């Protein structure tokens, strides 16, 4: 197994349901993502993109195959191990990323404090820097309800990146955004990820994003059908 690969899967299969209703949704997925790469995962609805993301992101138990994340085998890992591994990951969801009772700053602080009891003033400093990087220095004490969709996703980017994760998983983070905000958010993810050497796996239908990817994987009916590498 290549040590430069942060994700390395061999013959990953996945099924949903039990008995009669049992249905295979992923077939022999083999993929390797180099450290620091920016990969886009595409494919029609129902092709299994989210399932791949949740498996690699330690949010679902691996059923079959070998799946290595930062050198750790996920197949057979306990819930506590998966939780610990997730502390080294960043997640950006389509929506509902932020806690409605917490300000932008407090939401980002949650991303700092998950790994260790970072003293409050240090955590706030780190959060302020991260919010500055996503251009929200003037919105730090706003509650999510008072932020636009694009601003909320930028807070989510700041929270995902503030702890310098090994890897960021994003599932259609721009689906609910207008064209300009979508481009903003993806550019931020790409630029900040590159600066930190963070690996990014991003699921999208959004064609506007494709030219920013190092690599585009296309999934159809649970199988990887094409791999496009960009220089």
Ligand X SMILES: Nc1ncnc2c1ncn2[C@@H]1O[C@H](COP(=O)(O)OP(=O)(O)OP(=O)(O)O)[C@@H](O)[C@H]1O
**Interface contacts to other proteins, rule CB under 8 A:** 50, 53-54, 57, 59-60, 80, 83-89, 91, 93-94, 96-102, 106, 109-111, 113-115, 117, 120, 159, 171, 203
43 binds ligand X (CB under 6 A): yes
Which helix (H) or strand (E) covers residue 155, if one does? helix 149-162
From 42-50, 110-118, 152-160, 161-169, give the range in contact with ligand X by CB under 6 A.
42-50
Per DSSP, the chain holds a count of helices (H) and strands (E) of 6, 10
How many residues bind ligand X (CB under 6 A)? The answer is 11
Q: Residue 166: which residues within 8 A CB-CB, separation 6 or more?
A: 6, 70, 88, 89, 198, 199
The DSSP symbol for 118 reads: -
Q: Phi then psi for 29, rounded to 5 degrees?
A: -75, 120
Residue (88 or 223) nearer to other proteins, CB: 88
What is the distance between the alpha carbons of residues 44 and 96, in angstroms, rounded to a whole number? Answer: 23
Residue (87 or 137) nearer to other proteins, CB: 87
50 binds Mg ion (CB under 5 A): yes
**Site of interaction with Mg ion (CB under 5 A):** 50
Interaction site with ligand X (CB under 6 A): 16-17, 25, 43, 45-51
């Amino acid at each position: 197994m290549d040590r430069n690969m942060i994700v390395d899967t061999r013959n990953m299969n996945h099924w949903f349901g039990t008995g009669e209703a049992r249905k295979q949704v992923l077939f022999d997925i083999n993929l390797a993502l180099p450290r620091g790469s920016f990969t886009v995962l595409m494919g029609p609805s129902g092709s299994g993109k989210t399932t791949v993301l949740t498996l690699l992101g330690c949010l679902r138990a691996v059923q079959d195959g070998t799946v290595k994340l930062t050198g750790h085998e996920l197949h057979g890992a306990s819930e506590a191990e998966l939780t610990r591994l997730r502390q080294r990951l960043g997640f950006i969801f389509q929506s509902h990323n932020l806690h409605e009772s917490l300000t932008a700053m407090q939401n980002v602080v949650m991303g700092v404090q998950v790994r260790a009891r970072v003293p409050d003033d240090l955590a706030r400093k780190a959060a302020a820097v991260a919010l500055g990087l996503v251009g929200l220095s003037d919105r730090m004490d706003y509650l999510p309800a008072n932020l636009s969709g694009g601003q909320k996703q930028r807070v989510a980017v700041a929270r995902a990146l503030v702890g310098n994760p090994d890897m960021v998983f994003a599932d259609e983070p721009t689906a609910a955004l207008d064209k300009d905000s979508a481009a903003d958010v993806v550019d931020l993810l790409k630029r900040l990820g590159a600066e930190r050497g963070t690996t990014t796996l991003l699921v999208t239908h959004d064609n506007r994003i494709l030219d920013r990817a190092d690599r585009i994987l296309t999934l159809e009916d649970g199988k990887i059908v094409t791999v496009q590498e960009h220089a």
